A and B are shown apart, each in its own frame.
Chain A
Amino acid sequence: DQQVKQNSPSLSVQEGRISILNCDYTNSMFDYFLWYKKYPAEGPTFLISISSIKDKNEDGRFTVFLNKSAKHLSLHIVPSQPGDSAVYFCAASSGNTDKLIFGTGTRLQVFP
């Protein structure tokens, strides 16, 4: 039973345009959300996070939006760069545990 879902396995975007990666969750107890980025043959690395008390968090070219009523979050990358090509995982946790539940990942390809 997948509590965190990324329904788009892949996304292709032109350099300079916006990339939007989506994530849905089913557990209403989740109150903290993170995005990780993974290059081939490497482990995932932390990118950006958001607490459920916020609906937006921004860090440079990366912005995460949270819609609690829809149980949906998205990661926006503006402008997209070829170096952003990677697999992006969304993850969620609830306040009473330090374990993260990950989604299935979305492979982003940014082409020139």
Chain B
Amino acid sequence: DAGVIQSPRHEVTEMGQEVTLRCKPISGHNSLFWYRQTMMRGLELLIYFNNNVPIDDSGMPEDRFSAKMPNASFSTLKIQPSEPRDSAVYFCASSLAPSRGPVVSYTFGSGTRLTVV
């Protein structure tokens, strides 16, 4: 398996533009997570899906952020309009959530470095 695939690797955009980040999870994994890494807050959970259904979006900063998972092999994180404070590295991760017991480890993608100027 190629692992979790994220695109693009780098994105530079102007303030006010729409940005779409993409993620392909590992085949067979049933949970997908979007994280944002910043110096101040470390790895911050934005939203996660289980079986393509959003379970917890309490970490989404504000209405400018939205995420979708139309099928088991694809998810997007959209920022509209983008602002300079959104500049960060965005990671997607997937896992096979057990029916009971603690979560097994996640597999992360390589991330998308977003710069909003």
Asked if A and B are interacting partners, one says: yes
Query: Which residues of A (33-79) have their CB < 8 Å from a CB of B?
Result: 34, 36, 41-46, 49, 51
- Nearest chain-B residue to A94 (Cβ)? B102
Residues of B within 8 A of A42 (CB): 110-111
Q: How far is the CA of A34 from the CA of B101 in the complex (A)?
A: 14
Rounded to whole Å, the gap between the CB of A7 and the closest CB of chain B is: 12
Number of residues from A at the complex interface, CB < 8 A: 27
Interface membership of A104, Cβ < 8 A: yes
Rounded to whole Å, the gap between the CB of B19 and the closest CB of chain A is: 19
Interface membership of B82, Cβ < 8 A: no
Count A-B pairs with CB separation below 8 Å: 68
Query: Which residues of B (93-117) have their CB < 8 Å from a CB of A?
Result: 93, 95, 97-98, 101-103, 105-111
Given known A-B contacts A102-B42, A103-B42, A104-B42, A44 and B108 have beta carbons under 8 A apart: yes
Residues of A within 8 A of B108 (CB): 43-45
Partner of A43, one of B91, B95, B97, B98: B91
User: Is there contact, CB below 8 Å, between A99 and B42?
Assistant: no
Interface membership of A89, Cβ < 8 A: yes
User: Is there contact, CB below 8 Å, between A89 and B43?
Assistant: yes
Interface-central residue, A41, A46, A97, A100, by most chain B CB under 10 Å? A100
Partner of B42, one of A6, A34, A45: A6
Rounded to whole Å, the gap between the CB of B92 and the closest CB of chain A is: 8
Interface membership of A2, Cβ < 8 A: yes
Rounded to whole Å, the gap between the CB of B7 and the closest CB of chain A is: 14
Rounded to whole Å, the gap between the CB of A99 and the closest CB of chain B is: 5
User: Is there contact, CB below 8 Å, between B102 and A46?
Assistant: no
Given contacts A95-B102, A100-B103, 12 further A-B contacts (CB under 8 A): A32-B103, A42-B110, A43-B4, A43-B93, A43-B108, A44-B91, A44-B108, A49-B105, A97-B56, A99-B56, A102-B44, A103-B43
Question: Mind listing 23 A-B residue pairs with CB under 8 Å?
Answer: A2-B41, A31-B102, A32-B102, A43-B4, A43-B91, A43-B107, A44-B91, A44-B108, A46-B105, A46-B107, A51-B102, A89-B43, A95-B101, A95-B102, A98-B48, A98-B98, A99-B33, A99-B45, A99-B103, A102-B42, A102-B43, A102-B45, A104-B41
